[in-house]
Structure 1
Amino acid sequence: MSGAVPISTLSLDPYIASKIENILDLATGKSLVTTKRITAAELKDKKLRFIIQANGLSETQQSDLKQQIADAFVHDPIVDTTRVTFVMSKPKRKIIAVASGKGGVGKSTLSASLALVLKQLGYKVGLVDADIYGPSQPLLMNTKKQPVTADGDRLRPIITEDGIPMLSMGQIADPEQAIAWRGPKIAGAFTQLMDADWHDCDVLIVDLPPGTGDIQLSMVREHKPDGVLIISTPQDIALIDATRAVDLFRKTGTPIIGLVENMAGYQCPHCGEISDPFGAGGAELAAENMGIDFWGYIPLGLDIRLATDSGRLSACLKDSEEGSAASFIAIAKRLGVWLDQHR
Structure 2
Amino acid sequence: MSESCTHNCNTCGESCGSREEAQTSFLEPLNPSSIVKKVIGVVSGKGGVGKSLVTSMMAVSMSGKGYKTAILDADITGPSIPKAFGLSDNGVGMTPNGLMIPAVSATGIEVMSANLILDQETDPVIWRGPVIAGAVKQFWQETLWENVDYMFVDMPPGTGDVPLTVFQSLPLDGIIIVTSPQELVSMIVGKAVNMAKKMNIPILGLVENMSYLSCPDCGKQIAVFGESHIDEVAENYGIKVLARIPIDPKIAASVDAGTVEYLEAPWLKDAVDAAEAV
- TM-score, scaled relative to structure 1: 0.67
Aligned to 2:266: 326
Tell me how far apart the structure 2 counterparts of residues 313 and 125 of structure 1 sit (CA, whole Å): 15
Question: Residues 1-343 of structure 1: matches in 2 within 5 Å?
Answer: 93-151=37-95, 152-173=97-118, 174-195=120-141, 196-270=143-217, 272-317=219-264, 325-328=265-268, 330-335=269-274, 338-339=275-276, 341-342=277-278
Query: Which one-letter code corresponds to 1:333 in the other structure?
Result: V
Instruction: Report how far residue 186 of structure 1 moved.
Output: 0.4
Unaligned runs of 5+ in 1: 1-89, 318-324
User: SS in structure 2 opposite 1:93?
Assistant: strand
Task: Verify the 8 A CA contact 1:233 1:239 in the aligned structure 2.
Answer: no
Which is bigger in relative contact order (C-alpha 8 A, separation at least 6)?
Answer: 2
1:153 Cα deviation from its structure 2 partner: 4.1
Count of paired positions: 242
- Gap regions ≥5 residues in structure 2: 1-33
Shift of 1:279: 2.1
- Hey, what's the Cα distance between the residues in 2 that align with 1:176 and 1:140? 15
Alpha-carbon distance between aligned partners in 1 of 2:49 and 2:37, rounded to the nearest angstrom: 27
1:20-78 CA-to-partner distances (Å, cap 9, x unmatched) read xxxxxxxxxxxxxxxxxxxxxxxxxxxxxxxxxxxxxxxxxxxxxxxxxxxxxxxxxxx
Q: Using a 3 Å threshold, how does the CA distance of structure 1 residues 311 and 331 change in structure 2: closer, same or farther?
A: farther
CA distance in 2, matches of 1:91, 1:161: 21
Structure 2 distance, partners of 1:238, 1:144, is 32
Query: Contact 1:102–1:238 (CA<8 Å) still a contact in 2?
Result: no
Q: Is the 8 A contact 1:102 1:210 kept in 2?
A: yes
- Cα distance in 1 for partners of 2:72, 2:130 equals 19
Q: Which residue of 2 aligns with 1:50?
A: none
Instruction: Tell me: CA distance 1:158–1:208, structure 2 relative to 1, closer, same or farther (3 Å).
Output: same
Q: Which amino acid aligns with 1:154?
A: L
Identical aligned pairs, as a percentage? Answer: 35
Give the alignment's Cα RMSD to 1 decimal.
1.8
Asked whether the 8 Å contact 2:93–2:101 carries over to 1, the reply is: yes
Instruction: Write the distance in 1 (CA, Å) between the matches of 2:68 and 2:131.
Output: 30
**Closer, same or farther: CA 331–135 of 1 in aligned 2, 3 Å:** farther
Distance 2:262 2:123 in 1: 30
Amino acid at match of 1:136: S
Structure-2 separation of matches of 1:91 and 1:164: 15
CA distance in 2, matches of 1:150, 1:332: 34
